[in-house]
Structure 1
Amino acid sequence: MDTRDLRVMANKIRRRDLRAVFEAGAGHIGGEMSVIDILTALYFHVLRVDPDNPLDPERDRFVLSKGHTACALYVALSEKGFLPKEEIETFLKPYSRLNGHPNRTKLPGVETNTGPLGHGLPVAVGMALAARLDSAAWRTYVVTGDGEMQEGSNWEAIASAAQYKLDNLTLIIDHNRLQQGARLADTNNLAPFAPKLTAFGWEVIEIDGNNMDEVVDALSPERRPVGKPLAIVAHTNKGNGISFMSDNVAWHHKVPNAEQYKQAMAELEEAAL
């Protein structure tokens, strides 16, 4: 897809995600709205994955470390063909494969279980190192939240990735400045991330993570460094695309009421025109 088609797809995923959270009565809609442009670029422009062969040994690996935004991942996977689109209607229902956090034993396309924060990046480093040891060509991508970067396990993984010169690894930080219940600046403010990652030996790109042109450019093969891992600090807005949710900490884990749902859907539909 070109960037225009990717923007159309991202809007479609936002609308379906909004409806799924509203109907389920639960979800993490704010962080889902901030990360959807990144997920869309990955699944429809970057990742070498095949829904008909989800365990292809040569596939790229993607880890959604901020696993609480699972619904956005499920919608992206359904649009890519990993699961029936109608299955999104089962989100969070009893016996559904679509749990509140991704589960690799239940759903094709999910590489590892995530939810407890600080686990996804260490696993992704292990994946990238395994590819290096096998002289394999596939790449590993991982998305973390910025609040999640407060976990010390991430910085151990960052040091290890630099030590092993894992230039087949890309970390994307969804830097929406908000975490559950507070702003990053009011808890343990690790921002700015770029100088810290650079000091650890990573190549770093900073972008507007809700600008599809910038996301696609940052993920292009031409931007990949040689001999060091790549970190993309994606500055985003929590609740992006919905006026009353945007940059609002209350929407980390909140469900719109009927009137709010109607307004949010109208705004997204207008943006799609």
Structure 2
Amino acid sequence: MLTPDKNGTLLTTIDNKIATVQFGHPASNSFPRVLLDRLTNEITFLSDNPEISVIVLKSEGNGAFCAGASFDELLAVSTLEEGTRFFSGFANLINAMRNCKKIIVGRIHGKAVGGGVGIASACDYAFATTESAVKLSELAIGIGPFVIEPAVSRKIGKMAMSEMTLGAHEWKTAAWAHQKGLYAKVLETQEELDLEVTAFAKKLSSYNPEALFEMKKVFWEGTSHWDKLLKERAAISGKLVLSQFTRNALIK
């Protein structure tokens, strides 16, 4: 399916038991709430599709993989309810990826910021390029990576997560992210990236889908409380986004 350009694009193709889901937005592949909801619904829909075994998640273009939340929508938030609802978008997406019955392979071709790091972390296996630096910039605008923290900490550990969070102005290299476990493999070019992703997804799709599903449950053991936890974290971010500090930071 394809969403209107003003809200970004979402396109799914299915071939030989592999569903490739591509999202995009003109603002560095950032996420307005409509696009977040579309992606969440698509992941949930594909989870129950017996014709596929693997999902490849990617984004458009040659620039950033994902710049996180839409700043325009953050600026438009005027109440706690609106703020909580906005940040619940990322909570819902991460939980959909966690609960998805299919293995999700991330194709991280470029930089990831904030929610983009959360999405990469929620993938079961992620490939990247040397251009795929990461940053958690939320503290710099007066909020924090509360919603995505459980997914990021699960992947790279609490100390590395803390290092990224407090170094809110610092980019961490793809090599650093690989060393910490966010990326399974880092390639030099997008061409090499595509070859690796295609080969890996093809190999996975040849495995017993029931075995893949049972392993996915093992991978995510101990996260059943995230449905409640991420909503609580969304409320924290929803409150902080109303602060004067954040207002000033967003309009700079």
Q: TM-score, normalised by structure 2?
A: 0.33
- In proportion to residue count, which structure has more helix? 2
